[in-house]
Amino acid sequence: MASIPTRFDVIVVGAGPAGSAAAYLLAKKGFSVLLVERGKGLGDKNMFGGKVYAQPIREVWPELDKEAPIHRWVTKERISMVDGEKVFTVEYRTEKKVSFVTYLTQLTQWMIKKAEGAGALLASEVTVEEILMKDNKVVGIRSGPDVIEADAVIDAEGINRLLLERLGLVKKLDPDTVGLGVKEVLKVGESNIESRFGLDKKEGLAWAIVGDVTKGIPGGGFIYTNKDTVSMGLVLHLSKKLIDEGSFESHVSSLIEGFRLHPYFKPYWKDAIISEYGGHLTITDAIKFAPSKFAYPGLLIAGDAAGLLLSLGYTFRGVDYAVYSGKLAADAIEYARNNGGVSYENLQVYDDYIRKSFMYEEIMRHRGAITLMNSFELMSRYPKLLTKVMEKMFEADYKHEVIYNSLIQALKEEGISPFNLISQAFMMVKGI
C-alpha cells in the first residue's frame, strides 16, 4: 500500500463479483480506481454453489459467453424431495443459454483481470480496516497505517459487512437473516458426468433438493455439474428459534456426509474423491438483511453487503445480482460526475437505481418465499407427504391405491388437513 498513490477517484472494497464489475466499468469510464482485496490469490475468498444467471452479467461483459470460464450451460434443472431413502424428482430441460455452471474462483479471477485490463489498480492481500469519515462524509479507507482518500468508496465487502458494522450503518449479523452454506467438490471425471447425468458435452445440470438431507432444518441441498467435477452441498438456515429448540444437534459435517452417502445420490459420484470443501455464510432473508439505504454521503453499498440475493429454493441468484449492482454503482458515480460532482445529492440516484432495478423488484415480489423457505412444513412435511403418495401409487403387491385415497391417507398420517394443504399450496404458488 505504501507504494501506491494516496488519492483515487473511487476506492472499491472487495474484489468479488460486485466490486470487480464496479471497478471494471468505472475504469472504463475513465475514473482512477483502486480495487482492494484481502485475499491472497485472486478469487480465493469467493465461494458459492455453482450456477450463474448470464443476462445481467452480459450487460457488463457482452463477451461473457465467448471468454468467461464457463464449465457447462445448464440444460437440465431437477428438483427432488427426499424422505429417508424415498425420493420424488422432477426434471426440466431447455436448450437456451440462460444460466451456466462454473467455479466462482475462476469467474472472479476473470472479472478482476478485466478490471485490471481496463485500468483499475488492484491491491490484493490488503484488508481494509476502516472506512474513513470526515464531516459526516466518507472520504477514504485505512489499512494499518496507510490512508488512501477518494471522492467515493464502494463497499462490496460481501456478507460479513464488518466495515459497515463499524460505521454503525448495519447491525451485527443476525442468525434469522443468514444461513450456513457448506460445499464439497467431487472429482467425478468428464465422461462419467456426461453418462451418469445424461448430459452432452458442455451441457450441465442444476439440482435442488429439499427434505431429509437437512434433517428438517430449513434450507436445502444442491448439486451442480462442472466440467469434470460435481459441486454438492447444503444451505442451512440459521434461526434463533431453531438454535433455541436445539434443532442444530446434527453436526453440519454429518449432514453433508449423510447427503453424500445417500443411496439415491451416491451412484452419481461413485469412486470420486473430494478435491475441495468449504463453508460460507449466505443471505436467507434479503429484506431484513438489506441496509436501510444503499447510498450514503461518499459511500455506495453493492452485492451481498447490500442484501441483494434471491433465494427461492429452486434457484439462487447472488452472483449476477452482485455484478448488476456493481454496474448500477458505476452508473451512479458517472451520473454524479456529469451532474456537478460526487456530492451526496448526486450519489443518491444509486438508491433509486437499486430500488427500481429488476433485482429489488424480484426480491420484493418473492418476499412470501422467504417465509416459506424458513417453514418446517415445506422442508420436512411436504417432501414426506409427496413421497408417501408416490409410495402408495407405485408400491403394491397386488392392488394399487387410488391416487385420491393415497393423498387422503398420506395427509392423515402427516397430520395435515386438506384445508391447510390447499391454503399452503396457494401460498407457495403465490410466494415462489
- Choice between 188 and 283, CB closer to ligand FAD: 283
Q: Is residue 52 at the binding interface for ligand FAD, with CB under 6 A as the rule?
A: yes
Q: Is residue 14 at the binding interface for ligand FAD, with CB under 6 A as the rule?
A: yes
Q: How many residues bind ligand FAD (CB under 6 A)?
A: 41
Closest approach, Cβ 184 to ligand FAD, in A, equals 11
Sequence-distant (≥ 6) Cβ neighbours of residue 91 within 8 angstroms: 76, 77, 78
Binder among 11, 12, 17, 210 for ligand FAD (CB under 6 A)? 17
According to CB under 6 A, which residues from 310 to 369 bind ligand FAD?
Answer: 316-320, 322
- Choice between 86 and 161, CB closer to ligand FAD: 161
Sequence-distant (≥ 6) Cβ neighbours of residue 381 within 8 angstroms: 414, 416
> What does the alpha-carbon distance between residue 224 and residue 160 come to, in Å, rounded to a whole number?
25
Binder among 8, 31, 48, 360 for ligand FAD (CB under 6 A)? 48
Binder among 26, 45, 185, 380 for ligand FAD (CB under 6 A)? 45
> Where are the strands (E) in 229-328, listed by range?
229-237, 273-283, 295-296, 299-301, 310-311, 316-317
According to CB under 6 A, which residues from 190 to 249 bind ligand FAD?
Answer: 233, 235
- Choice between 80 and 282, CB closer to ligand FAD: 282
Q: Is residue 157 at the binding interface for ligand FAD, with CB under 6 A as the rule?
A: yes
Find how far residue 238's CA is from the centre of its chain.
16
Going by the DSSP 8-state scheme, the letter that residue 323 receives in this structure is H
Q: What single letter denotes the amino acid at residue 122?
A: L
> What does the alpha-carbon distance between residue 193 and residue 269 come to, in Å, rounded to a whole number?
8
Q: Is residue 140 at the binding interface for ligand FAD, with CB under 6 A as the rule?
A: no
Classify 417 as helix, strand or coil: coil
Tell me the window of 72-80, 252-260, 299-307, 354-362 that interacts with ligand FAD (CB under 6 A): 299-307
Q: Give the dihedral sign, CA 169/173/179/182.
A: positive
- Choice between 107 and 407, CB closer to ligand FAD: 107
Binder among 22, 25, 27, 37 for ligand FAD (CB under 6 A)? 37
Give me the residues paired with residue 150 across strands. Answer: 8
> What does the alpha-carbon distance between residue 135 and residue 300 come to, in Å, rounded to a whole number?
17
Cell (9 digits) for 409: 391417507
Binding site for ligand FAD (CB under 6 A): 13-19, 36-39, 45-52, 127-128, 156-158, 163, 181, 183, 233, 235, 280, 282, 303-305, 309, 316-320, 322
